[in-house]
Amino acid sequence: MGRVTMGRRANLLFCTAAIWVAVAPPAFAQDAPSEALPDAAEADDDGAIVVTARRREERLADVPTAASVIDITSLTDRGGATGSGELLADQPSVRFNNLNSSVTSEISIRASSTARATNGDPSVGLYRNGAYIAGGPVGGRNFTRLDLLDIGRVEVLRGTQGALYGRNAVGGAINIISAEPEFDLSGWASARYGFENNSFQTQGAINVPLADGLAIRISGDLVEQDKGFFYNPDNDVYFDQQKGHGLRGQIRLKRGPVDAIITAETQRLTTPTIHYQISIPAGTPGFPGGYTQDRFRYPWNTAPRASQDVDGLQALVRVDLGGADLTSTTSFRKRTSEYDLDNDAISPAELARARAAGQIGALTPLDASTASYVVDTTDNFSQDIHVSGASDRFTWLVGAEMLLLDSDFSVATTRTPTLANPSPGNIAPARLHFESYAAYGSLGFDITDSLNLTGELRYTRDSRSISARLYDLGTGLPTGGPSRIIDDSINADNLSYNATLSYKLTSNILAYGKVGSSYRAGGFNTRLSDPRAPSPVQVLFGNENSTSYEVGIKGSPIRRGYFAIAGYYTELEDLIAQVDDGCALTNPACPIAAVAYLTNAGDAKSWGIEAEYSQGFDLGEGNGRLALSGSRQEGKVKSGRYDGLDLAQVPDWLASANLNLRYPVTKDVALTSNVLISGQWGGKQELTATSVDLDDYVLVNLRVGVDFGKISVSAFANNVFDKVYFVAQAPTINRYSQPRVVGVEGRISF
C-alpha cells in the first residue's frame, strides 16, 4: 500500500466531515432527540458523570472497569493544569515520570514500564478526543501543553485496555476531551503570575453561535517565563524557562442526526529542557576530591534548549442512525521536538578549575566539548470509525482503525578533534515508518437485570520499518562501518481480548471481574552507542504482551458520594524495559553520558490495589468536596538477565487528597480554597541490582481566593513547604524537584 501524503491526509480529514454533513437525511432532523445523560456539571456525584470509556456514552458508575474523570469544575478549582504532572496528580495508580522536560517525560499507570530517555512507545495509550496521539522518538510519551488547553474533561482508564484501545494500552489509557463549541455566547479568560520564576501565563476561550446549529470556539494560550530556578552561567540562561503560544479553532455543525466538529490547532513553544546535577563522591577513581555541582547552577558550555511545535487537524463526526450511533474520528498531527544536551555536563573552564582543585584527576579522560543535538519530526495520521447500539438485553459495537506514523529523527554528537581522531563528531539520521490496521468489537448481554457479561476483541496488524545511517560531521562521509547502516522492518499480528462479568448489587453499586490482554509495540533503538560502550545498544526489540486480571467494586452509596476499589494482577511476556550502555563519567573506558535504550528484559509480573472516594458536603451556608485516592503496587522480573529485580519507576505507594471549599459571604461574593496533597513512597529508580530507591515525598499545593460571580481572584502556592527531592537519579546524576512557586491568578467568565 502506498503511503498517504500530508496533503492527501488533510484533504481526507476535511472531506470526511463534509460528506457526513452533506448526506444527512432531512427526515432525521425531525426526530425527537434522545434523552441526554447528565454531564459533569449537572451530576450530583462523580458516578453520574458521563464517559466514553467503552467508546459509547455511559455513566461512570456503570462502567465495569477502573476509571476516573477529571471534569472542568474540579480542574478549575485547583487552578487548572499546563502539564501532565499537574493534571494527573490526584489519580490513583498513575505516576508522572518527570525528566524535567515535557519532550522526554512520561506517564505510567499500574506499574507499567517506562521508555523515558529512549524513542520507544509509551505503555499507556494517550488520546485527544478519541484519536491516538502518542508515538515517535521524542515527545510522544506525554501530552503537550496544547493538549491541556481548554479542557472539557479527562477520562483516565486504569488497567489493560487493549481490546478497544489497541496498542500500548498496557497500563491503561488517558483521553483528553477538549471543550466543544456550544450554541450560546460564552467565554472565559485567566491570567497567572508566578513570583519566583517571573512566569506570566494567560489562557482563554470564546464560544460564538453563528447560526442555528452552527457555532465556533476559539481558544488561546500564552506563556512568558524568562527566569527559573536552574541556571546555566556559561550561557546566561535558565534551563527551566519557557516561552510560546498555542491556538485552537473549532467549528461545529449540527444538521439533523449529524453532529460534526472540525478542529485546527497549533503550538510554538520553547519548553524547559533536560537538566541535572553531576555528583561524584570523593575517592571515586579519577575523581580524588569528588566533584558535585551546585543544586541550582550547572556550568555547561552547551547552551540548553528545548522546543516543541505542534500542528493538528481533526474531524469528529457523530451520527444518530436511529437505533445505533456512528462515530468517525479523522486526525492529523505534526509534532516537532528538539533539545540540546551537554553530554559531559561540564564546561572547559569548569573542568580546568576542578582539575586544579584536585576534584577531578589531571589524567581523567573527560572531553568537555561533547554535546548532542536531537531533532524529531513525527507525522501522525489516524482514522477510527465505529458503530454502537443496544436492543433488549444486548449492547454491541463494531469498529475499524488505521494509524500511519512517520518520523524523521536525527542526533548530532560533537566532540573535540584530536590528532588521533580529527573528527568533530557525527550525525545519525533515521527515518521510521509505522502502519497499523485494526478491527475491533464488543458484545454485551444482560443475563438478568443485574448480571451482565461483555466480551471485547481486537485484531491488529502492525508494520514498522527503519532506515538509519551514521555520517562524520567533518567530511560528511559514512562512518562506523556496516553496523551503522540499518535497513530493517518488522511485521506483527496481535489478537487482544477482554471478558467482563459485572453484577449490580444495588441500583447504585456495581461489582465486576475481568480478564484482558494487550500489547506494547516493539521497534527500533535509533540512538546507537559509542564504540567504547560496555553494553552496546541493540537495534531491535520485540512486542511486549500482557494478560491482566482485575476485580472491583464501585458506586454511589450515599448522595453526592462515589467510591471505587479495584485489585489487579498482570503477567507480562517480553517486558520492554529501559537500560543503558554502561558509559558514565566515572567509567574510564567510556567517560561520557550513557545512552539509554530499550530491550526485552524477560517475563515479569505486577500487582496492586487501588481505592478512591469523593464526597460532596454542606458547610453551613457553603459547600465543599473531598476526594481521596491511594494505591499500592509492585512489580518484578521473573526470568532472564534481570530475574528477581523490581520494575523500575514503580513507587510502592501513591496517595492524594483534594479538598475544595466554597463559602458565601454575601449574595454575590464567596470565599474559595483548595488544598491538594499528593505523595509517593518506595520503589526503585532503575532496573539494576544496585539501583537507588525512588525518593519519598509529600507535596502540598494551596489556593485561596474570592469569587465575585463572573470574576475571581486567587493566590496560590505550589509545593508550599518547599519539599526537596530527586525526581530521578543515576550513579553520577541528580535531577532535583521544582522549588516552591507563589503567585496570583485572575479569571473572568461570561
DSSP string, 421-432: ----EEEEEEEE
Would you list the DSSP string of 470-483? -EETTT--B-S-GG
Are 65 and 514 in contact by the 8 Å Cβ rule? The answer is yes
Cell numbers describing residue 247? 491556538
Q: How far is CA 403 from CA 5, 335, 342, 459, 622, in A?
A: 13, 15, 35, 14, 49
pLDDT tens per residue, range 496-519: 999 999 999 999 999 999 999 999
Predicted confidence at residue 358, as pLDDT, reads 96
* CA 464 – CA 434 distance, rounded (Å): 4
**417 within some domain:** yes
Q: Name the pairing type of β-strands 544-555 and 540-541.
A: unpaired
Q: If pLDDT is split at 50, 70 and 90, which confidence band does 101 have?
A: confident
Q: DSSP code of 120?
A: P
Q: How many CA atoms lie within 13 A of 107 on its CB side?
A: 35
Question: Containing domain of residue 23, as a range?
Answer: 6-363+371-749
Q: Which of 10-19, 417-426, 712-721 has the lowest mean pLDDT?
A: 10-19
586 has a pLDDT exceeding 90:
no
User: Which residues have CB under 8 Å from 484's CB, separation 6+?
Assistant: 428, 468, 469, 470, 478, 528
Q: What is the CATH number of the domain that holds 678?
A: 2.40.170.20
Domain-located, residue 305: yes
Q: What is the pLDDT of residue 36?
A: 39
- Residue 252's pLDDT is 99
Single-letter amino acid, residue 197 = N
Per-residue cell: 487: 535497513
Asked whether residue 132 carries a pLDDT value surpassing 70, the answer given is yes
Give me the mean pLDDT over the 450-467 stretch: 96
Confidence of residue 38 (pLDDT cuts 50, 70, 90): very low
Cell numbers 472540525 correspond to what residue? 262
- Kindly report, residue by residue over 209-240, the tens digit of the pLDDT: 999 999 999 999 999 999 999 999 999 999 99
Q: For residue range 429-456, list pLDDT tens digits in order.
A: 999 999 999 999 999 999 999 999 999 9
pLDDT at 8: 52
Question: Is residue 328 assigned to a domain?
Answer: yes
pLDDT at 478 over 50: yes
What would the grid cell of residue 478 be? 559514512
The answer to whether residue 186 is domain-embedded is yes
Q: Establish if 1 belongs to a structural domain.
A: no
| Residue 472 is assigned to a structural domain of this protein | yes
Q: Which candidate, 282, 280, 271, 274, places its Cα nearest to that of 300? A: 274
Q: Into how many domains does the chain fold?
A: 1
The confidence score (pLDDT) of residue 46 equals 59
What's the rounded mean pLDDT across residues 257-264?
98
| Cell reading at 186 | 460564552
Question: CA-CA distance, 313 to 322, in Å (whole number)?
Answer: 29
Q: Residue 180 pLDDT more than 80?
A: yes
Residues 6+ apart with CB under 8 A from 447: 393, 453
